[in-house]
Amino acid sequence: MFEWDLWPDRRTLRLCEPPRAVVVDMSVLDPTAGRPVGFAPSQVSLRVRAFGVRVEREMPARLVAWLQLCDGQWRALCELPIQSVNGVSRATVTLWVPPEAMRLPADSRTMP
């Protein structure tokens, strides 16, 4: 994933140990996120509707680190579990998330 030991300046890298549960507002990253499956164009096959990734407007994630950009802004490194609509396929993706696109969950003691 990310080789932290190759980043010696820890003033621009803040690791979250342990990782922290957050909720990512996917509509900030992708304005089409969270649309119901019924909004898919009619030419999208049933196979894609079933096996395609479900992206909700808000999705649970794990905040792993903060990294400062050269212009002074910060980005969160988040691990986001995803799955297909039918639940058969699963993966974890890593996203760079702006601070305004995430929040703590209502019960911040639970980890996704």
**Which pTM was predicted?**
0.82
pLDDT at residue 42, rounded to an integer: 72
Asked if the structure places residue 109 within a domain, the reply is no
Pairwise pLDDT comparison (8 vs 53), residue with the higher score: 53
For 27, residues 6+ apart whose C-beta sits below 8 A from its C-beta are 33, 34, 57
The model's pLDDT over 56-110, given as tens digits with 9 standing for 90+, comes to: 999 999 999 999 999 999 999 999 999 998 999 999 999 999 999 999 998 765 5
**What is the secondary structure of 20-75 as a DSSP string?**
EEEEEEHHHH-TTTT--GGGS-TTS-HHHHHHSBP--SEEEEEEEEEEE-TTS-EE
In a domain, 78, yes or no: yes
pLDDT over 70 at 37, yes or no = no
Structural domains counted in the chain: 1
Closest CA to 111 of 65, 70, 63, 77: 63
Is residue 106 within a helix (H) or strand (E), and if so which, with residue range?
A: none
Range of the domain at 91: 10-34+45-103
Per residue in 10-25, pLDDT (tens digit) is 789 999 999 999 999 9
Is 39 part of any domain?
no
Q: Would 52 be classed as within a structural domain?
A: yes
